[in-house]
C-alpha cells in the first residue's frame, strides 16, 4: 500500500467513509421499502397502522402520497429521494413528522449510549489489563467468573434488579425517568440530577460490554506480554510500569477497539431495551410506544436513524484505531 | 471418542452440560409436574413465594410463576436451538460460497455480511417480528436472520484454509463435482468450529428471544421468560418474585450453554480456543 501524505490519507479516508455511509443509508432505506411491500396486507394499510386501516380517506391519501399505483422502481426512487431529503414519513398515531419525533428523542439516546460505551471501554480495558498482568491470581479468577455471569445476564433484567436493590430496597436512586420533574434547579443541580438518573441505565447497559472488553483485554495483554519487543524492552532495562504503559497497552488495545466497533450495533440495541426499563425518554422508549401502537412509519424511521448512529460510532472507533495504531492506513484493516 | 473423554474431564464444560440437562428435563416434564396451563389462575393474585402451595409465588393474575418458569424453558430451548440452526444454515451457506469461490462473489457476500454486522441486530429483529407478526416461526426465522454473520465469517475462513489442500485437489482430479467436494470433503473438515459457534449462538438466541418477548413481541400463545419479566416489571415494587425468578432462569440457562460451548471449543479446537479466550 502506497503511503500518502497524512493529511491526504485522512482526507481520502473521510471521503470514502462518507460514500460508504451514503451507500449504507440507501441500502437500509431500500430494505425498509421492500419490507413494507413484503408485509402481509396492502402497503397503505401497513403504513396507516391498525387504527388508520379502517379510514378509507386516509388509505386513499396514502396510496396517492406513496404513488402505490405506479411501478415499484418509480416508488422506490421517490422513496429514496424522500429519505435523502430527511423526509421519513408521517406518524399517523402521533400526528407528527417521523423525523421530528426521532430528532427530539435522539439526544437522550446518544447521551445514554455514548456514556455507556466510553465507560465500558475505559473500565473494561483497565480491569482486563489488571487481570491480564496478574493472570492466575485470585483477582483474575474473580474477574473471569464475574464476566462470565454478566455475559449471560439479560440487560433488561439486570436493569430491573438494580431498580429492586437501589430504588425499591435502599431508596438511593430514582427508579426511572430522565430528571426530577416539577422542581426548580440551578443548571449544575439539574446536570447532577440527570447524572443521578443515568447511573442505573448506564450501569446496566455498560456491564455486559465491560465484561466483554475486560476478557478481551486480558487475553490481549497476556499475548502481547509474550512478544519479542517486550523482552527487548526488558533487556534494555526498562522498568515494569514503563513497559506496561509505553509498550503493552497500546498494542493490546488494538483488538479490543476492533471488537468495540463491531459491538456498537449491539450496544444501541441494548439501549432500546434499557430505555424501556427505565422510561428513559429516548429512541428506545419511542420504539416501545411505536410497537404498542403498531406505528410502522415510526419504526422504519427509528431503524434507519439507529443504523446511522451505529455507523457513526464505527467511524469514531476507526479514529481511535488510527490514534493508537499508526500502522493502520485506509483499507488496510 | 477421545473428544468425549476429554470433555468429561473438562470441569466447567461438564458443569455447563449437567445444568443444561437439568433445564432440558424441567422443560420435558413441565406438563407432568404442572398439568394446569401456566395461563390459568390457580391462586389469589400477588401470592408470595412459598404460600398457598406456590413455590415461586403467583403473578398479578394469580398464575403460578413456577409453572411459567418450567413452560418458559420449553420456549427458550426450542427457539434458541431452532434459531441457532437457522443461523447455521444461512451462515454456512454464505460462508461456504464466499470462501470456496472467492473473487467478486466473496467480495459482495462479505460486504453484505459486514452490513448485517453493523446494523443494530436487535432493532432489525424488532422490525422483522413486528412486520410479520409474532409467532414461534417468525421469531425463529428472525433470530436466525440476524445471528448468522459470525458463522458466515468463520465458515469462509475455514473454506479459505481448506480449499487448496491436497485432498480437495485429489477430489477435483477424480472429477468430483463442486457440491460433492464442498459437502463431502471441505465441510466435514470444518464442522467442529462451526458446531462450537452454533452452540454459543443458542445462548445469544435465547437472550434475544427474551428481549423480544420482554418488549411484547413474543408468541402470544406461549408463556416465555421474557414475557413474564415484562409483565412483572410494573409491579416490581410490591412483587419482586415475578421478575426475579424468570430472569434467574435465563441467566442460568445461558451461562450453562456458554460453559458447555466453551468446553466443547477447548476439546474440539484447542488451537482456536486458546486464541479466543
Which pLDDT score is estimated for A332? 39
For residue B9, tell me if it sits in a domain: no
CB contact under 8 A, A160 and B117: no
For residue A35, tell me if it sits in a domain: no
For residue A130, tell me if it sits in a domain: yes
CB proximity list for B264: less than 8 A, separation 6 or greater: B7, B13, B195, B196, B199
Please count the structural domains in chain B.
1
Which pLDDT score is estimated for B259? 94
Which pLDDT score is estimated for A164? 93
Domain range spanning residue A223?
108-292
Task: Give me the tens of pLDDT residue by residue for chain B, a chain 277 residues long.
Answer: 788 888 888 888 999 999 999 999 999 999 999 988 888 888 888 888 888 778 888 888 889 889 999 999 999 999 999 999 999 999 999 999 999 998 999 999 998 998 888 888 999 999 999 888 899 999 999 999 999 999 999 999 999 989 888 888 888 888 888 888 888 889 998 998 999 999 999 999 999 999 999 999 999 999 999 999 999 998 888 889 999 999 999 999 999 999 999 999 888 876 554 444 3
Q: How many CB atoms lie within 10 A of CB B196?
A: 23
- The x, y and z cell numbers of residue A4, run together, are 500518502
Please count the structural domains in chain A.
1
* Cβ–Cβ < 8 Å for B224, B76: yes
**Chain B residue closest in CA terms to A255:** B276
Which of the residues A21, A31, A98, A160 would you substitute to probe the B interface, choosing the one with the greatest number of B C-beta atoms within 10 Å? A160
Diameter over CA atoms, chain A: 82
CA distance B226 to B245: 11
- The CATH number assigned to the domain holding A274 equals 1.10.3720.10
Q: Which residues of chain A have pLDDT under 50?
A: 1-4, 329-333
**Quick check: B107 contacting A, CB < 8 Å?**
no
**Quick check: B271 contacting A, CB < 8 Å?**
no
CB contact under 8 A, B244 and A219: no
The length of chain B in residues reads 277
**Nearest Cα to Cα of residue B144 among B105, B198, B225, B75:** B198
The backbone torsions φ and ψ at residue A90, rounded to the nearest 5 degrees and listed phi first, read -130, 135
- Interface pTM (ipTM) of the complex? 0.91
Which pLDDT score is estimated for A321? 74
Which pLDDT score is estimated for A317? 78
| DSSP string computed for A169-209 | IS--S-SS-SS--S----HHHHHHHHHHHHHHHHHHHHHHH
Segment A98-146, tens digit of pLDDT: 999 999 999 999 999 999 999 998 999 999 888 888 878 888 888 888 8
The backbone torsions φ and ψ at residue A330, rounded to the nearest 5 degrees and listed phi first, read -55, 130
CB contact under 8 A, B121 and A265: yes
For residue B240, tell me if it sits in a domain: yes
**Quick check: B250 contacting A, CB < 8 Å?**
yes
Which ranges of A263-331 would DSSP assign to H, the alpha helix? 264-278, 283-292, 296-324
Which pLDDT score is estimated for B97? 95
For residue A324, tell me if it sits in a domain: no
**Nearest Cα to Cα of residue A50 among A307, A298, A313, A292:** A292
For residue B170, tell me if it sits in a domain: yes
Which pLDDT score is estimated for A58? 77
CB contact under 8 A, B211 and A273: yes
Tell me the count of A-B CB pairs closer than 8 A: 133
CB contact under 8 A, B118 and A296: no
Domain range spanning residue B178?
14-27+65-268
Which pLDDT score is estimated for A327? 60
For residue B55, tell me if it sits in a domain: no
Amino acid at each position: 500500500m502506497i503511503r500518502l501524505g497524512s493529511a491526504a490519507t485522512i482526507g481520502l479516508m473521510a471521503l470514502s467513509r462518507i460514500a460508504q455511509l451514503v451507500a449504507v443509508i440507501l441500502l437500509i432505506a431500500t430494505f425498509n421499502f421492500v419490507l413494507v411491500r413484503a408485509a402481509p396486507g396492502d402497503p397503505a394499510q401497513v403504513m396507516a397502522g391498525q387504527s388508520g386501516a379502517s379510514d378509507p380517506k386516509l388509505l386513499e391519501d396514502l396510496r396517492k402520497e406513496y404513488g402505490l399505483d405506479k411501478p415499484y422502481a418509480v416508488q422506490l426512487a421517490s422513496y429514496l429521494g424522500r429519505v435523502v431529503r430527511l423526509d421519513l414519513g408521517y406518524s399517523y398515531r402521533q400526528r407528527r413528522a417521523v423525523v421530528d419525533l426521532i430528532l427530539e428523542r435522539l439526544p437522550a439516546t446518544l447521551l445514554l449510549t455514548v456514556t455507556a460505551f466510553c465507560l465500558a471501554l475505559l473500565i473494561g480495558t483497565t480491569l482486563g489489563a489488571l487481570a491480564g498482568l496478574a493472570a492466575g491470581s485470585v483477582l483474575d479468577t474473580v474477574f473471569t467468573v464475574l464476566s462470565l455471569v454478566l455475559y449471560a445476564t439479560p440487560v433488561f433484567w439486570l436493569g430491573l434488579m438494580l431498580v429492586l436493590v437501589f430504588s425499591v430496597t435502599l431508596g438511593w436512586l430514582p427508579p426511572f425517568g430522565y430528571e426530577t420533574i416539577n422542581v426548580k434547579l440551578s443548571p449544575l443541580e439539574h446536570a447532577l440530577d440527570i447524572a443521578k438518573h443515568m447511573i442505573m441505565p448506564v450501569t446496566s447497559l455498560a456491564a455486559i460490554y465491560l465484561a466483554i472488553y475486560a476478557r478481551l483485554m486480558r487475553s490481549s495483554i497476556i499475548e502481547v506480554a509474550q512478544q519479542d519487543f517486550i523482552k527487548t524492552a526488558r533487556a534494555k532495562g526498562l522498568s515494569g510500569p514503563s513497559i506496561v504503559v509505553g509498550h503493552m497497552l497500546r498494542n493490546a488495545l488494538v483488538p479490543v477497539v476492533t471488537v468495540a466497533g463491531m459491538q456498537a450495533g449491539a450496544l444501541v440495541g441494548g439501549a432500546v431495551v434499557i430505555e424501556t426499563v427505565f422510561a428513559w425518554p429516548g429512541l428506545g422508549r419511542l420504539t416501545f410506544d411505536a410497537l404498542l401502537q403498531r406505528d410502522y412509519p415510526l419504526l422504519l424511521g427509528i431503524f434507519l436513524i439507529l443504523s446511522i448512529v451505529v455507523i457513526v460510532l464505527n467511524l469514531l472507533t476507526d479514529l481511535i484505531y488510527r490514534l493508537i495504531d499508526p500502522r493502520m492506513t485506509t483499507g488496510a484493516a | 471418542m477421545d473428544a468425549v473423554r476429554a470433555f468429561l474431564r473438562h470441569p466447567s464444560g461438564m458443569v455447563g452440560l449437567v445444568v443444561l440437562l437439568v433445564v432440558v428435563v424441567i422443560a420435558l416434564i413441565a406438563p407432568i409436574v404442572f398439568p394446569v396451563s401456566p395461563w390459568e389462575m390457580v391462586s389469589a393474585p400477588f401470592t408470595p413465594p412459598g404460600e398457598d402451595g406456590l413455590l415461586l409465588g403467583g403473578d398479578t393474575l394469580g398464575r403460578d410463576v413456577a409453572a411459567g418458569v418450567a413452560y418458559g424453558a420449553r420456549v427458550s430451548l426450542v427457539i434458541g436451538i431452532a434459531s441457532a440452526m437457522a443461523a447455521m444454515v444461512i451462515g454456512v451457506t454464505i460462508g461456504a460460497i464466499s470462501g470456496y469461490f472467492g473473487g467478486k462473489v466473496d467480495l459482495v457476500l462479505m460486504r453484505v455480511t459486514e452490513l448485517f454486522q453493523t446494523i443494530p441486530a436487535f432493532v432489525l429483529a424488532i422490525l422483522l417480528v413486528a412486520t410479520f407478526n409474532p409467532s414461534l416461526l417468525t421469531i425463529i426465522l428472525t433470530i436466525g436472520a440476524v445471528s448468522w454473520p459470525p458463522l458466515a465469517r468463520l465458515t469462509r475462513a475455514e473454506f479459505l484454509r481448506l480449499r487448496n489442500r491436497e485432498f480437495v485437489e485429489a477430489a477435483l482430479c477424480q472429477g468430483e463435482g463442486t457440491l460433492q467436494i464442498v459437502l463431502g470433503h471441505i465441510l466435514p473438515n470444518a464442522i467442529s468450529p462451526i458446531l462450537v459457534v452454533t452452540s454459543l449462538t443458542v445462548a445469544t438466541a435465547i437472550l434475544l428471544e427474551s428481549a423480544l418477548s420482554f418488549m411484547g413481541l413474543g408468541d402470544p400463545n406461549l408463556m416465555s421468560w421474557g414475557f413474564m419479566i415484562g409483565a412483572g416489571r410494573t409491579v416490581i415494587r410490591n412483587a419482586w418474585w415475578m421478575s426475579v425468578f424468570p430472569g434467574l432462569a435465563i441467566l442460568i440457562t445461558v451461562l450453562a450453554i456458554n460453559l458447555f460451548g466453551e468446553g466443547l471449543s477447548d476439546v474440539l479446537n484447542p488451537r482456536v480456543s486458546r486464541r479466543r479466550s
